[in-house]
Amino acid sequence: MTERKVKFDGLDGVVSGAAKRGCVIITHGAGRGMDAPLLENTSSGLVELGFMVLRFNFGYMGKRPAPSMGGKNEKPELVSAIEFMKEHGNPILIGKSFGARVSTYVAAERSDIRALVYYGLPIQGMSKNSKPRDWSHLANLSAPMLFITGDKDKLCPMDELEKIQKNITADFKSEVVAGDHSFKPKSEGKAKELCLSWIDELIKV
């Protein structure tokens, strides 16, 4: 897969493929950046399907151990990524965990997002006493969505996810794979295939 390094608004990223069917922006989780194997493999698969893909690191990577509270700093960074790719059409957003959360905030305020895929949406935090976050903004999203969740994901209990999904007015699909928040130990490949097949079916170009 041919990749080229890019910089926009002080952020580092990698662009792969050609935009025959449009463009995709992939955002990473809180702990590991754009080089996470799941994200790299998803990008490769999308390139084969005819998409141009941008993966990038949020600005805190390599500088601070964690992102800003509620994604305050990362939301405008994702907006910058969208503007950077805008010439290639309205983007599909794929987010892993924290990246998925940021995607929901940004998409709720825009009408130019083509679709969203959530790899392990973090409904709540990691501590034992964590309560579900406020996800009422999902009702404002108009783009189709795909939720991919590990059946043992402690950050996304299935009963809480189902409660949140009841408020969604856009089309959505929810898939469950074996594994934890990162689809470990054996379901990363399955999660990727679910993502690719859904996008392939959705975008008829």
Domain boundaries, the chain: 3-202
- Taking the C-alpha atoms of residue 125 and residue 139, their distance in angstroms, rounded to an integer, is 21
- Taking the C-alpha atoms of residue 155 and residue 172, their distance in angstroms, rounded to an integer, is 20
- Taking the C-alpha atoms of residue 95 and residue 27, their distance in angstroms, rounded to an integer, is 5
Asked if residue 106 has pLDDT above 90, the reply is: yes
Q: In terms of DSSP H, where are the helices of the chain?
A: 37-48, 74-85, 98-107, 158-165, 188-202
Q: What is the mean pLDDT of residues 19-25?
A: 97
Pick from 106, 72, 74, 71: nearest CA to 90 = 106
Q: Which CATH number fits domain 3-202: 3.40.605.10, 1.10.287.130, 3.40.50.1820, 3.30.420.40?
A: 3.40.50.1820
Q: Residue 1: its pLDDT value, please?
A: 65
What's the pTM value of the predicted model, to 2 decimals? Answer: 0.97
Do residues 138 and 114 touch, judged by C-beta distance below 8 A? Answer: no
What are the distances in angstroms from CA 133 to CA 6, 155, 204?
Answer: 34, 11, 35
Do residues 80 and 58 touch, judged by C-beta distance below 8 A? Answer: no
pLDDT digits (tens, 9 = 90+) for 131-154: 899 999 999 999 999 999 999 999
pLDDT digits (tens, 9 = 90+) for 38-88: 999 999 999 999 999 999 999 999 999 999 999 999 999 999 999 999 999
